[in-house]
Structure 1
Amino acid sequence: MKFVDEAPIFVAAGDGGNGLMSFRREKFVAKGGPDGGDGGDGGSVYIEGDDSLNTLIDYRYQPKYRASNGEKGGSSQCTGAKGDDVVLKVPVGTTIIDTDTNEILGDIKAPGQRILVAQGGWHGLGNTRFKSSVNRAPRKTTHGTEGQKRNLKLELKVLADVGLLGLPNAGKSTFIRAVSAAKPKVANYPFTTLVPNLGVVKVQAHRSFVIADLPGLIEGASEGAGLGIRFLKHLTRCRVLLHLVDMAPFDESDPIDSAQSIIRELESFSATLAQRERWLVLNKADLLEPEEFNARCDALIEALDWQGPVFRIAGISQQGTDELAGRLMDHLEAVWEAEEETPELAEQEAEAQEQMQIEARERIAELRERYRARKAAQKDQSDDDDDWDDDDYDVEFVYEP
């Protein structure tokens, strides 16, 4: 199934039914009086989390959704039927944004969580409602109100506690295979990971966390090169970023330059995301002699002036992976416990995530505008090239009968 993490949709709630003007007309019943009923409320549109979904692809092919209108009131003071609601199922981790106002309507963070995105119209009143001691035969009714209409954008960001960051072929997919049951594609060429992959790392019984493997970044990603920039927004929900560095690259590139390029791209994409807690993971220790591997690691740590945690592993042989997973679990549990005891920390985390998501949207929107401008310029250039000018071609045409 194709992975789709953004989808624009249009939703329209149902209109409320009109109230009815009616009078009781029955044999042997004199002066029956008003008996017009109220209309029914219009149906509303809700968005609900579903943990069986992992993509928004359905909304690419069907972008418009309408709830049904409420029915008009009936005689004998009968109320019209309410319009049916529409419930749209989305993956957990979806953010709902009103594209007309840029308002964030909510985040789907748990299965079954439901958010109202378009309120149905209210019912109209029948003439029975206006009966009084001085107005025994009212001829007044009201119309139902219109249902709410909205242009929305659904943004899916995977719910992971730990995110993997690095160049293509840094060993991210191999690492996630080593520590979880996830089986992303692994091959001896770059760009094998084209969409995010999630894995559950089970350290002990009832102790686990979710890790996300994203497509690799390349130099110039912050300017739109490659696929990785599209998926960096998925890291905004992660509590820890693991920066994997290939210490034995097959193309003999410099690991220091590779690590620095990732840091630059991260800073260009989102200043807040660049300040996220990061752990340095130096991979492929099994491909070098221990002395050479350690020397390369020490040089990289010194060049980056790295002050955070450092781990030296070999993902394919699972050397050091269990220790890293255990340390991550301990750290995450400490963070969760601190936020539970101190609500201010949880609020600060929510604000940081919101800021990162805002910066990510702005950056991706900027890149899209650049892309559209570039395509328009290319189209204009091609149109200019299609203009025929005899002086541009040194060709003599000879017509023969």
Structure 2
Amino acid sequence: MRRLEKLSIRNYKSIQDQTLELGQLNVFIGGNGVGKSNLISVFRFLREVVTQNLAGYTATKGGAETLLHFGRKISKSMSFSLEFAEGDKANGYNLWLLPTDDDSFLIQVEQATYQDKKRYPPPHKPFDIPVAANVRESGLREHPHQCAQQALSALESYRVYHFHDTSDSAPMKATGAIDDNRFLQPQAENLAAFLYWMQEKKPDHYRTIVDTVRQIAPFFDDFRLAPSRLNESRIRLEWREKGSDAYFNAHALSDGTLRFICLATLLLQPEPPAVVLLDEPELGLHPAAVSLLADLLSSSSTESQVLVATQSVTLVNQFGPDDIWAVDRQDHATIFRHLSNEDMGQWLDDYSLGELWEKNLLGARP
């Protein structure tokens, strides 16, 4: 499996200059405003770049001035570098951006890279594949080189999942198109259609999701998923309670239960995304559900690379130091520090990671 091994970020929001060497499971902890969510949003930003929506996305976020670290007076440019690896083969993607007078960005340099580390190990540098220069939008889609297309495939797949909106008008509670089932949408807008596809085509995975939901909602029996009798191209999330024939839809579920259903669907689906990106998934969950979520994240990391930003002590308690990144602000900039078993061994004999975090012995104070 090709994995994102290294990510370098320069002058993006609160992140001035950081390089992260990522593992399969990466849990980022820290207080409010330290920059955890900014890291997760890097992936959304890069996806918008390679899908040729840099100008539109920059405008919706308040312009280049807002996205640059302390604005263009401090940050004259912004850059990203990603290195993907599978065995001895590595390819990458590099992007340099300059702010423009109209508060947008110019792509100064865009390139893909390739390196056979067995034949040309470091300090040999990767082979650069020029993609675009001095343009307003990415040229990655049109570039024929295999490495460029591999980078495009990875970057296009990045979706940041937020299941926080469980209000009465939340898209996940509404009726949706039954054929919207190729992947789970970032806010689970197509939850009913996606579950229906699994019920019909991937029943083993569907049953696993149902059984998992029952662990945190003992009253839950099963979903009732079928095309609308009034319009067979539409579907909505319906379910039944144990021992009852009454009609229930998503509005009858608690916020925490509905969010957990979304998380279980994401993490237990048959074809998970290469990278799972979650920002504070513990929101509104009972502590028992948070513990089960940790198990799902660990299991999912055997097939997908997982990046999670959290403020949950309960969630942190379920992981080891090698899974944890402490996030702080120093000199007005976000700093990422990877913990390790070697550093924490003497403390873990007496305390859990969550307790050490609460005692401010990890930094990243909650």
Give TM-score, length-normalised by structure 1: 0.26
- The higher relative CO (CA closer than 8 Å, separation ≥ 6) is in 2
Give TM-score, length-normalised by structure 2: 0.28
Name the structure where strand makes up a greater proportion of residues. Answer: 2
